[in-house]
Each structure stands twice: as C-alpha cells, then as structure tokens.
C-alpha cells in the first residue's frame, strides 16, 4: 500500500434552489444584477429549520459509501470539516458515525479550518492511511452557513449556501493523493470571522459572520495561486499535467483570477459557485462529486483541489482520480 485514493464521492444539497430574486422577495436590499456581476452566484440552497449539519453529512456520506461499494462498518476513520457543527460537542463526526450505524469503534473527529476544512481533512486522513494505522476514511465537508449569517447584512448574506460533500478515501497500490500542502496565518483572523462564542449560558460577542470582502479577495487570489505551484513542485508537474482544478467556490472572480495566474483555461476549472454559492468546507467535495457524476472527471485524470478560508487557512491536494 503506497497511496490513499478516492474510492467514492457523494453530496447533498438541501431543498430547492433559492434565486437572487427570491432573496429580493424576502426583503434583502440587493439585486440579481449586483450579485451576478460581483460574485457569479445565481442560486444557493438553504437548509430548513429542522435540518442539522450532520443530516446533510449523512446523506452525502451514504451516497459516497454507495458509490465506493463499501458498508459503513468498513470505515475506520470519520473526519468532518465544518464551522457550523450541530452543537458545541460532541463532534459532528461522532454524530455522523452514529447516524451511519458505524459501530466498529472507528475514530471520529471534526476539523475546523473554515473553507479550507475539506482540504485539511483530506490531507490529514491521507497521512493516517499512509501510516498504516487506518485503511478506509470517510472525509466530509458539511455546513449550514445560513445559520451564522446576519440576514440584515447584504454584503455577506447573499454569498453563502448550505450543503455537504463526502469522499471515501482508502489504502491502495494505485496512485491516489500525490501531494498536499496546508498553511495558516492567524495574523489575518479578523478579515473573515464569527467572533462570538458560548459562555456562562449565553452567546458572548457577535455570533454572525463578518468579512472584509476586499481584503479576503486579495489574500485568496495570492495564496490560491501559490499553493497550487507548491503541490505541483512537490510532484515535478506543471499545470499542463493537470486535467482539472477544483478551487473553493467563493466567488467567480476569485476563480477566474486564480485560473489566470496559473495560466489554466476556465474549461479545466470546475465551477459550481453559480448554483451553490459559497458552501465553505462543503464546496470542494460538492464540486468534485458533481464533476465525477456528470462524467467530466474520469479515472486516471489528475485533479488539484484547493481551498482558502477564515483563519486565514489555505491548502491544496493533488491527486490522480
Ligand atoms: N447588493 C447590492 N449592493 C450591495 C450588496 C448587495 N448584496 N452588498 C454590498 N453592496 C453595496 C455596498 O453597500 C456598497 O455601496 P456604496 O458604494 O453605496 O457604499 C457597494 O455595493 C460596494 O460594496 P463593496 O463591499 O465595496 O463591494 P465589493 O466590490 O468589494 O464587492 C464582494 C463585495 C463581492 C464581497 C467582494 O469584496 C468580494 O468578492 N470579496 C471576496 C470575498 C468573498 O468571496 N468572500 C466569500 C467568503 S471568503 C472565502 O470563502 C475564502
């Protein structure tokens, strides 16, 4: 066993698409034109009140397990990347493990790296598998960001959506993950954050997402370009050797600027931000599942996944599908 490779993918989008016009109808002082021109977002999905993050993770995971042809109890590691867990504790991963009926004592924990969380989770799970301690991991990105949005702040509430994506990662002699890089720079924690917390029976501080959009934009474009070069260098490849780029889906202009910096045509970039909005840790596995299921990503192709998010955190994974 030399590699950890993706054996199956799945995803979940709650309810029907909510259009920009729907947001206007709900009283948000915005327009379809403003949102499309600045972000490329046309629709997003919003979870109804009764749903929890572990429910979305559960549906995505069931589909990933089915596509891998694996029973839940063959999983020995459950990693959930989320910034919107069901509760303070236990972890959403432990709740997911229970919902899936995994009773074999598989390790389960959450990863908190905001929109880079799935990349962090994938890189961590790969290291568990390559070390020989675990054989099959379920790695999930799941979010209900609509619960941490200030719906009176039109500068942020139009940008995000809810959803989940999952992969089964397993030990293999065939190439899978080839290279990965993870980074953080906590000095920039204030440009994208939910500053509040829970203490003494109360929410303390501001419980909503706050963002300096222009600072985030500049930071994201720089680090997304750099980190792709880093994983390519590790593996002796150039962008010519990459079939698909799946960036975190924050904003079409960030995706276009990153593709331009990498000299990659947009035809080789998987774009879902127009339909999903920004689903934070879920955005990359959602886009991956979509492109696998519609036949764009085929076995043997090389794919770079890359994320950037609050912290600030960023990272990339280069893999052969
Ligand atoms: N509808 C209509 N008008 C709006 C809206 C809205 N939804 N939001 C803001 N405006 C107005 C502002 O009030 C302002 O009006 P004014 O000039 O009269 O004061 C005007 O539009 C410009 O506002 P800015 O905030 O300067 O708009 P900007 O051009 O920076 O675009 C945006 C904002 C889209 C957020 C941009 O900064 C951006 O793309 N940033 C990247 C951040 C991002 O994508 N974050 C996602 C999460 S981060 C991540 O996932 C890594």
Residue 2: predicted pLDDT = 87
- Average pLDDT on 247-264 reads 95
pLDDT digits (tens, 9 = 90+) for 105-114: 999 999 999 9
CA of 155 to the centre of ligand 1 (A): 5
Q: Two tokens at 301? A: 């192709």
- Average pLDDT on 161-175 reads 97
For the CA of 217, the closest atom of ligand 1 is 41
- Average pLDDT on 254-271 reads 96
Residue 72: predicted pLDDT = 98
What residues are annotated to the active site? 115, 248, 278
Q: From CA 231, how far away is CA 249, in angstroms rounded?
A: 19
For the CA of 38, the closest atom of ligand 1 is 34
- Average pLDDT on 301-305 reads 98
* Residue extents of the structural domains in the chain: 3-174, 178-320
Q: For all residues of the chain together, what is the average pLDDT?
A: 97
Kind of pairing between the strands at 197-199 and 210-211: unpaired
Q: From CA 223, how far away is CA 204, in angstroms rounded?
A: 32
Residue 40, pLDDT > 90, answer yes
Residue 176: predicted pLDDT = 97
Residue 148, pLDDT > 80, answer yes
Nearest CA to ligand 1 atom 50: 250
| Backbone φ, ψ for residue 150 (5° rounding) | -90, 105
Query: Are 3-174 and 178-320 in the same CATH fold?
Result: yes
Quick count: other Cβ atoms within 10 Å of Cβ 242? 19
CA of 213 to the centre of ligand 1 (A): 6
Mutational test site, ligand 1, from 153, 213, 277, max ligand atoms within 8 Å of CB: 213
Residue 1: predicted pLDDT = 64
3-state secondary structure the chain: CCEEEEEEEEEECCCCCEEHHHHHHCCCCCCHHHHHHHHCCCEECCCCCCCCHHHHHHHHHHHHHHHHCCCHHHCCEEEEECCCCCCCCCCHHHHHHHHHCCCCCCEEEEECCHHHHHHHHHHHHHHHHHHCCCCEEEEEEEEEHHHHCCCCCHHHHCCECEEEEEEEEEEECCCCEEEEEEEECHHHHHHEECCCEEECCEEECCCCCEECHHHHHHHHHHHHHHHHHHHHHHHCCCHHHCCEEEECCCCHHHHHHHHHHCCCCHHHECCCHHHHCECHHHHHHHHHHHHHHCCCCCCCCEEEEEEEECCCEEEEEEEEC
Mutational test site, ligand 1, from 24, 36, 38, 148, max ligand atoms within 8 Å of CB: 38
CA of 36 to the centre of ligand 1 (A): 11
Q: Residue 30 in contact with residue 23, Cβ under 8 Å? A: yes
To the question of domain 3-174 being in CATH 1.10.20.10, the answer is no
Pick 178-320's CATH classification: 1.20.120.350, 3.30.230.70, 3.40.47.10, 3.40.50.150: 3.40.47.10
The ligand 1 site (C-beta within 6 Å) comprises 30, 34-35, 38-39, 115, 154-155, 158-159, 192, 211, 213-214, 216-217, 220, 248, 250-251, 253-254, 278, 308-309
pLDDT digits (tens, 9 = 90+) for 180-226: 999 999 999 999 999 999 999 999 999 999 999 999 999 999 999 99
């Amino acid at each position: 066993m030399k590699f950890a490779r993706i054996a199956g993918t799945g995803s979940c989008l709650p309810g029907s698409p909510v259009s920009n016009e729907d947001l206007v109808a709900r009283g948000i002082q915005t327009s379809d034109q403003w949102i499309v021109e600045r972000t490329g977002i046309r629709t997003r999905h919003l979870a109804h009140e009764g749903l929890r993050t572990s429910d979305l993770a559960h549906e995505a995971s069931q589909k990933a397990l089915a596509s891998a042809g694996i029973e839940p109890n063959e999983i020995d590691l459950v990693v959930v990347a989320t910034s919107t867990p069901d509760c303070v504790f236990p972890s959403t991963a432990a709740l997911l493990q229970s919902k899936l009926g995994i009773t074999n004592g598989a390790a389960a924990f959450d990863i908190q790296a905001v929109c880079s969380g799935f990349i962090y989770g994938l890189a961590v799970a790969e290291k568990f598998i390559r070390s020989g301690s675990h054989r099959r991991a379920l790695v999930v990105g799941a979010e209900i960001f609509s619960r941490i949005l200030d719906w009176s702040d039109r500068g942020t509430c139009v940008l995000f959506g809810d959803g989940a994506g999952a992969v089964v990662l397993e030990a293999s002699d065939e190439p899978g993950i080839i290279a990965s890089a993870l980074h953080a720079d906590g000095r920039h924690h204030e440009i994208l954050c939910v500053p509040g917390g829970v203490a003494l029976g109360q929410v303390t501080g501001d419980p909503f997402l706050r963002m300096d959009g222009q600072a985030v934009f500049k930071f994201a474009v720089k680090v997304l370009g750099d980190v792709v070069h880093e994983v390519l260098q590790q593996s002796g490849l150039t962008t010519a050797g990459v079939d698909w780029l799946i960036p975190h889906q924050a904003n079409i202009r960030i995706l276009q600027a990153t593709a331009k910096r990498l000299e990659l045509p947009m035809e080789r970039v998987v774009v879902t931000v127009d339909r999903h909005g920004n689903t934070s840790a879920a955005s990359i596995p959602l886009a991956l599942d979509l492109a696998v299921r519609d036949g764009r990503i085929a076995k043997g192709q090389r794919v770079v996944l890359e994320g950037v998010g609050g912290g600030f955190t960023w990272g990339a994974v280069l893999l052969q599908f």
